[in-house]
Amino acid sequence: RTETITDGALVLRGFVSERAEELLRGIQQVTNVAPLRKMQTPGGHTMSAAMSCCGKQGWVTDATGYRYQASDPLSGQPWPAMPEVFAQVAKDAAEAAGFSNFEPDACLINQYEPGAKMGLHQDKDELDYEQPIVSVSLGLSQVFQFGGLKRNERPVNVPLAHGDVVVWGGPSRLRYHGVLRLKAGEHPLTGACRYNLTFRRAR
């Protein structure tokens, strides 16, 4: 089932339900090497979601700013490769949404525990805004907020559940977005948390 949130934003409900356990094993593999960590914002706050990355480029934030870089600042080593199933799911979802040659070089893994959120922001650290973004939700449901091109536009709330994939492109690529605080709960595959995989073309 495909739902349109607005132009250029499509929700593919349950698109990865059948590949969820394989994706979760991929998260385990990556985070064994590049552990989930709560990063510092340039403004001096600690993000409430724990993050890790895989692929050629990883998104990081610290006191000096937001950026993509090829190595994990914790180890100084290159980020782990994207598991095959990650790359396949990202391509399949982009294709299903009408973006034919999506080759992500970056996958950000966000882990939300109860109380964790992400405030309204734009994703602007990538070179080419013509490239879509693919996001995969696993585990507990969380309310996604989809705003406009200006921060003051009232956002639309869209609950994202286990197995849902969202593809954002074209006119929606620079919209403000975020997620509300995760409510406590228990999911049979992830326990008390939600994971989000965000696939991007950084360079």
- Which residues sit in the known binding site? 59, 66-68, 110-112, 121, 123, 125, 151, 177, 194-200
Q: Which stretch binds Fe ion (CB under 5 A): 14-22, 104-112, 119-127, 140-148?
A: 119-127
Helix, strand, coil shares, percent, the chain, to 5: 15, 35, 45
Q: Between 76 and 174, whose beta carbon lies closer to ligand MD3?
A: 174
Query: CB of 93 within 8 A of CB of 165?
Result: yes
**Site residues for ligand MD3 per CB under 6 A:** 108, 110, 118, 123, 133, 135, 144, 166, 168, 172-173, 175, 177, 179, 196, 198
Q: Order of strands, edge to edge, in the sheet holding 118-121? A: 118-121, 177-179, 142-146, 156-160
Question: Which residue's CB atom is positioned nearest to ligand MD3?
Answer: 196
Residue 20 CA: distances (Å) to CA of 112, 152, 176, 190: 17, 36, 27, 10
Q: Give the residue numbers of the binding site for 2-oxoglutarate.
A: 110-112, 194-200
Residues 51, 72, 89, 123: which binds Fe ion (CB under 5 A)?
123
> For 137, which DSSP code?
E
CB of 169 to ligand MD3, least distance (A): 9
Question: Which residue's CB atom is positioned nearest to Fe ion?
Answer: 123
Q: Which of 157, 181, 197 is nearest to 15 (CA)?
A: 197
